[in-house]
Amino acid sequence: MTIRNTKTFRPDEKGLIEAADALRNGGLVAFPTETVYGLGADAQNDTAVADIYAAKGRPQFNPLIAHFADISQAKLHVKWSDMANHLAEALWPGPLTLVLERHNKSNLSQFLCAGLPSVAIRIPAHPIAEQLLANLGGPIAAPSANISGQISPTCAKHVNADLFGRIDGIVDGGACQVGLESTIIDLTGVPTLLRPGGLPKDIIEEIISTKLATVLNYGVIKAPGQIASHYAPQARLRLNAKTKEANESMLGFGPVECDLNLSETSDLVEAAGNLFSSLHTLDCDNAATIAVSPIPEIGLGMAINDRLRRAAAPRPATN
Ligand code: AMP
Ligand code: MG
């Protein structure tokens, strides 16, 4: 792969014009959203979108999310529905991705959808992402800005550790507030939760007055029933740990003795925000195993546990 000169763009007017120019010229630019840092490319440029897969080492059958500035632009690319409209009006901008049937007039890159007849769309709630989208004047394809299968980035330092020299630039906008990827809902059939994320599913169910079906099959699945390894630190993970054993680092939740605490007050919002950065920190300390306190399976706890289970899953030999 060619080595790229990774610039840091300032999160000001001039920096965001330069970052949008880099995207317009087919470049790859990482930028903050409220969920995690995204690795952006012009979603209508096939070469640029293909370059995302190469930079991340991402399997080409794993499609990307297209980010839009507003609902009217997003609607041009999909078969819009009343339910999509209801959710979008209530929850966008925000950490919710909708999967809808792709409109046959859409000029989004085919690589974005990895050959699927559907497309995943979102409007991010972050001033830097919003300005970048406005400056580009079109959609941005953006998966998380990390090497495929590894921990998602919640600050510019994490992005550089994985992707420096592989991308054209990064807008450093500090830490991401939500800290977990978006919740993904498939609306092409029965409304289905594909990925728990930064928006608890009960909020969505309340708005559409419907219980969501659940098919958690995102990521790289090697065999039916296998949990895909994802969000994986170098260290092993031991989940639902009450105490720390010899040679372990402890990632706590609530009032427990530990090396790092996701939230001493058992606040799931705070814990979500700290999850990936804590895994990064303990991993940099070279722990062989990270023991993690039990996290309640409610609200954002469902998304936190999903990420922890995938981080603890058996690793593919190539990872
Ligand atoms: P990330 O790399 O963290 O941005 O993840 C994007 C997620 O969106 C992946 O898990 C994809 O499988 C999912 N996704 C994107 N497009 C689609 C689609 N058309 N249908 C179903 N899932 C999708
Ligand atoms: Mg990702």
| DSSP code per residue over 262-311 | S-TT--HHHHHHHHHHHHHHHHHTT-SEEEE----SSTHHHHHHHHHHHH
Summarize pLDDT for 105-118 with one digit per residue, the tens.
Answer: 999 999 999 989 99
Q: Does domain 7-214 have CATH number 3.90.870.10?
A: yes
Q: How far, in Å, from the CA of 245 to the mean position of ligand 2?
A: 30
Q: Domain spans of the chain? A: 7-214, 236-312
Residue 260 CA to chain centroid, in angstroms?
23
pLDDT in tens, 45-93: 999 999 999 999 998 888 999 999 999 999 999 999 999 999 999 999 9
Compute the chain's Rg from CA coordinates. Answer: 19
pLDDT digits (tens, 9 = 90+) for 103-153: 999 999 999 999 899 999 999 999 999 999 999 999 999 999 999 989 999
Ligand 1 atom with minimal separation from the 119 CA: 19
Tens digit of each residue's pLDDT (9 = 90 or more) over 209-234: 999 999 876 554 433 333 567 788 88
Nearest-CA residue for atom 14 of ligand 1: 63
What's the half-sphere exposure (Cβ side, CA atoms, 13 Å) at 176? Answer: 38
CATH class of the domain comprising 236-312: alpha beta
Whether ligand 1 lies within 6 angstroms of the CB of 62 is answered as yes
pLDDT at 159: 98
The CA 243 to ligand 2 mean position distance, Å, reads 30
For residue 181, the SS3 value is coil
Q: How far is the CA of 128 from the centre of ligand 1 (A)?
A: 22
Residue range 153-162, pLDDT digits in tens: 999 999 999 9
